[in-house]
Structure 1
Amino acid sequence: MSHPEIIIPFQWTEAAESIIYGSPPSSTPIIFICGPKNSGKSTFGRHLCNVLLHRYDRVGFLDTDVGQPEFSLPGCLSLHLIDEQCEDLAAISVKAPLKCHFFGDISSKRDPKAYLARIFHLFDYFVDEHRLTKPEKPVISMLPLVINTPGWVKGIGYDLLVEMIQFMKPTHVVQIRTTSEAKNLPAGAFWLDGNKEDDVSMINIAAPCTNSFNETILVQKQAQQLRENRIVSYFRQIVPAESNISTSKDLARVLASIPPYKVSISGIKIRHLHCHVPDSERFHSLNATIVGLAISSKESLNSKDHLPWCVGLGIIRGIDIFKDVLYVITPVPLCDLEKVDVLLQGLIRIPTCLLQVRGFMCPYMSSNVLNRLDPAGMDI
């Protein structure tokens, strides 16, 4: 179903239907969507998922855009299983991922190697769980996968797209092209060397011809606001349903009054992403920041890459090094929070609208801390 303000071009409909109905039943598609920013990749990806759901009960969705993710939060790389139609192709939709990595930045340029490692880890997980035929699970059907990519298609961004396609070996590559050839990816199978051949189905579709210069500038200005809206929407889940909230200042005030969780500093690992922080400064850098709440997996414990799965984000409200405690607010369920053993600090900032209450980031008073040692619960 299209959004009232979004008209799916006939060429897009043909492309989506050719992927699902043009593929033999024995060949489950992996579709790689690429193109410059603001070309319509997200809209086409949602439309494609809707079409695929006519044939499959579920569709895998791998989100590799850390700046403008489709279903997850800024700074995250995530894998989703979509099982229902997207009725509004334009609405912001934050969904709980099947698996997630916290990259900690809104661009891959800061650490391209770490960016690819996390994407490949997610892809391998999907292939192992939902694409491979397993003797112990012979009745599990293979699921299609839609891969959403960022709009950085030049320089290192181009190199990353090439590496992703070569690693994932999709059945279809959908390239969205704009009227400005200088902004587009090279035509054809750009990821191949001249002497190589590939059996990937290449589909070129045109971006909707609505991008005037002024409109493009407007979208770029809104990017930061869209990221902040996603983060605000995520942390709003903590707020009790009966709270009377009409402004962002109301939301900030309610969040400031919510008792945080107590986390033992000595019982958790703290990892700083994208920068080196001296031991003497690590708590100063950690306080009043958004962190990824992660759980070490068996493979991360035995791997030099150490890629723990992220179960959500939290805000560090305060730190008391003398009591060996830091205070966290998060919508992550307690059953998952109890398993968290790694805090990942990146460069994702708290939205300015949540800093409007004086003292919001001050260390929490002990009288207002949820003491998990009393009958109300247990220590995290």
Structure 2
Amino acid sequence: MAESEAMLRRVPSRSSWQRVRKARPHLLLSRRGRRRFGVLTRGELRRLRKRLLRAHALGGDWKLGAPAGAHVAVKCKLRARSRPAARRQPAPSGPPAPCPQLCSLLNPRNHSTPQSRSGRPVQKVSPNVTQPVRDLGSGRVLLMLPPGEGFTFSGICRVTCIYGQLEVYGHIIKQGQPPQDVFSVYTHSYLTINGVPYSEPEKSEKGVRREIRALLKPYTKLDDRDWAVRYFPPLGCILILERMQTRFVDFLKTYRCSSYVLLQENIPARVNSEFVTLKKIGIRRQKRKKGICLSESGLCALEELVSVSCVDGCPVILLCGACDIGKSTFNRILINQLLNSIPGVDYLECDLGQTEFTPPGCISLLNITEPLLGPPYTHQRKPQRMVYYGKMNCHNDYESYIEIVKYVFRDYKREFPLVINTMGWVSGDGLLLLVDLIRVLTPNYVIQLYSDRDKFTPTLTSEYVELTDGLYTKSKIKRYRGFDIPEFGDNLEFTDEEKECIPLPVFTGHTVMTVKSEFLSSKNEKNRAKYNKIFRDLAVLGYLSQLMLPMPEPLSPLHSLTPYQVPFNAVAIRIMHADVAPTHILYAVNASWVGLCRIVDEMKGYPQGPILLAQNPICDCLGFGICRGIDMEKRLYHILTPLPPEELKTVNCMLVGSISIPHCIFKNQPGPEGTVPYITTEYKLNLPGATENIGERTYGNAVSRHKLRQRRK
């Protein structure tokens, strides 16, 4: 034993040193590696080399450093972090690295360790070290993301995945797919572009470099491709960010109430080269904590819902929770993750105040086939069926609300999973109304969001819904064998023989998932109404942006567009939110936001008009428009709408609700000299129904507070 220990301490022969030098990796002992020690003399370098070779010959790990030169090896590792990672040859054998789940990317505290090409863990980038960014010119930026790392930003841009896979808002963008427009604005939580880890390619290192150069050739120059190959992280992603130039963006920038939402004009205290590069395309890097972060319960709920939708068919999923708790954000992430696996998702909008795909005040059913990468006002779409309710809430009119929901839900074909969004009113009558909705819509899953700051809300289990009376439905105790027949009422009595002949429906119930909300929100009880007013105005502007002609036609203001002329006797009129005298109907319709609808009755036998409806109809709404004028001599309405002429031919009803036109539309009318139409400063507030114009003041206060917060940061 002593002899063996003595042999281990013996200095290896010259031939052993030569064998070690041939087998060593070219990192520390090459001439390039010597320059990293800079502070050592030649003699110290020679002695250090002998110690490292001796330790390696005896079986030690020279990377960690021998006892005599450990401090130098550690110093080398610290200096090498700022340099590009050394490239290694792929391992000759072994299984590919596992790919982490998508849900872990939505939670920065749940990242799994990515794997490099050699099978060893990749060192994560420090929070102070940013990902490589390169300016390509012409409003384009090249960005590379290591696996598992994210890029949180504010602003709007167009994202193209060149190599690898990306995840934005739950949606996977693969290489070769068309570019996606991403909206990360300060009115909502900032978005994060995550690099999705993928399985190790079978190509060699040289083949990967050749593929990257070929993919970048249509977009970049030779120097840019050399830079990308040099800084490409193992199993990383390469993407191009472009300045977004669309008709929608140009239209919103012309109005004061929306231009500040899209522009990034504030300058931080410290300006670096990355900030200057990103500012050229209109975005700015933000801290990861300002992005979207899901709780563990939210990640588990998403994973289960996606797996059920892909395996078991078409479940009906209903989301409920208090105001500003994150229902819409959870819906977008869920829809985007479902679209990664299935071609489409159906969506039923039951929230009147903050709608997702239509202007406010609507109950609609849509089929979603494209990802949602921004706030609601950035993806206004045409529904399969829509009814214009005309108000932002259903207070004192619950029965009409329930009937409209049933009317729209009737069009659901059960070909895709259905996601149902509900109102944030979950206390008092709102809770009872929610119980009615669950009974009417019979969902398979009820996702109930909660947070520590909200009041206690009972868990809406299947037993709770069955034993609780709603506003218009009764509990299981008061119903005959679990159901009632509305045609006969509650006083219906059957004999024993009749009871045996009646087919009884089977109530399967639903599964409840409670999700703790960790979404950040700038709303509170004091400013909620002001923020919601701004969001409704942005939704209306997003819908009106469809009036703009496609590029390269010049952008035209709304008052310069030619309206449609509609005769008085061609359409019926109804004011939905208030009782208006027939002699004042036209005053209420002029300069108003109108819903263009189709009712069953034909408008015949009315030679003069206008035609007035006695009650609010439940009918299909095809679109919206602005009544910009009324010609009393020719008896014509002047309607400005983006609806095509073939659909306008079927419109025979115009509904006016409490949804108003944004004030910035009236004020932004360049061209007219003197008095601007529909604007006055001599307004008498003592008139019945007169209210102060707080829309612009509300927006100004919100913008001032946002600027103050940015200045403090």
Larger mean CA deviation between 202-211 and 90-99 belongs to 90-99
Q: Is the Cα contact below 8 Å between 1:78 and 1:101 reproduced in 2?
A: yes
| Deviation of the 1:98 alpha carbon | 1.5
1:31-110 aligned at under 5 Å gives the runs: 31-88=317-374, 92-110=378-396
> Structure 1: any 5+ residue segments left out of the alignment?
132-141, 246-250, 299-303, 363-380
Pairing partner for 1:169 from 426, 430, 442: 442
Q: Is the Cα contact below 8 Å between 1:43 and 1:90 reproduced in 2?
A: no
Structure 2 vs 1, CA of residues 305 and 319 (structure 1 numbering), >3 Å: closer, same or farther?
A: closer
Q: Which residue of the partner structure matches residue 199 of structure 1? A: 509
- Whether 1:187 and 2:459 are equivalent positions in the alignment is yes
- Whether 1:159 and 2:422 are equivalent positions in the alignment is no
Q: Is the Cα contact below 8 Å between 2:294 and 2:519 reproduced in 1?
A: no
Q: Which residue of the partner structure matches residue 262 of structure 2? A: none
Q: Which residue of the partner structure matches residue 653 of structure 2? A: 342
Return the letter of the residue paired with 2:426.
Answer: V
CA distance in 1, matches of 2:460, 2:401: 25
Deviations 1:11-37 (A, max 9, x none): 222102212324694452100000001
Deviations 1:143-199 (A, max 9, x none): 2100011111112222221111110100000000111351x5312424331685853
Q: Is the Cα contact below 8 Å between 2:357 and 2:376 reproduced in 1?
A: no
| Deviation of the 1:64 alpha carbon | 0.9
CA distance in 1, matches of 2:598, 2:526: 40
Structure 2 vs 1, CA of residues 7 and 147 (structure 1 numbering), >3 Å: closer, same or farther?
A: same
Return the letter of the residue paired with 1:228.
Answer: D
CA RMSD of aligned residues (A): 2.6
| Deviation of the 1:44 alpha carbon | 0.6
| Deviation of the 1:111 alpha carbon | 2.2
Structure 2 vs 1, CA of residues 42 and 24 (structure 1 numbering), >3 Å: closer, same or farther?
A: closer
Q: Secondary structure of 1:354's partner?
A: helix
Pairing partner for 1:237 from 518, 538, 546: 546
> Structure 2: any 5+ residue segments left out of the alignment?
1-167, 170-190, 193-290, 469-474, 477-506, 602-614, 670-674, 680-713
| Deviation of the 1:215 alpha carbon | 5.8
Q: Is the Cα contact below 8 Å between 1:318 and 1:361 reproduced in 2?
A: no
Q: Which residue of the partner structure matches residue 366 of structure 1? A: none
CA distance in 1, matches of 2:391, 2:377: 23
Q: Is the Cα contact below 8 Å between 1:273 and 1:344 reproduced in 2?
A: yes
CA distance in 1, matches of 2:586, 2:405: 29
Q: Which residue of the partner structure matches residue 536 of structure 2? A: 227
Structure 2 vs 1, CA of residues 220 and 9 (structure 1 numbering), >3 Å: closer, same or farther?
A: farther
Larger radius of gyration: 2
Q: Is the Cα contact below 8 Å between 2:442 and 2:509 reproduced in 1?
A: no
Q: Is the Cα contact below 8 Å between 1:178 and 1:207 reproduced in 2?
A: yes
Return the letter of the residue paired with 1:268.
Answer: V
- Whether 1:146 and 2:438 are equivalent positions in the alignment is no
Q: Is the Cα contact below 8 Å between 1:46 and 1:89 reproduced in 2?
A: no
CA distance in 1, matches of 2:539, 2:465: 33
Equivalent residues, number: 335
CA distance in 2, matches of 1:277, 1:47: 43
Return the letter of the residue paired with 2:448.
Answer: Q
Instruction: Normalising by structure 1, report the TM-score.
Output: 0.80
| Deviation of the 1:336 alpha carbon | 0.9
| Deviation of the 1:331 alpha carbon | 1.0
Deviations 1:102-151 (A, max 9, x none): 1111112152222221111111111xxx12xxxxxxxxxx2210001111
- Higher relative CO (Cα under 8 Å, sequence separation at least 6) belongs to 1
Q: Secondary structure of 1:114's partner?
A: helix
Instruction: Normalising by structure 2, report the TM-score.
Output: 0.44
Return the letter of the residue paired with 2:660.
Answer: R
Q: Secondary structure of 1:109's partner?
A: coil
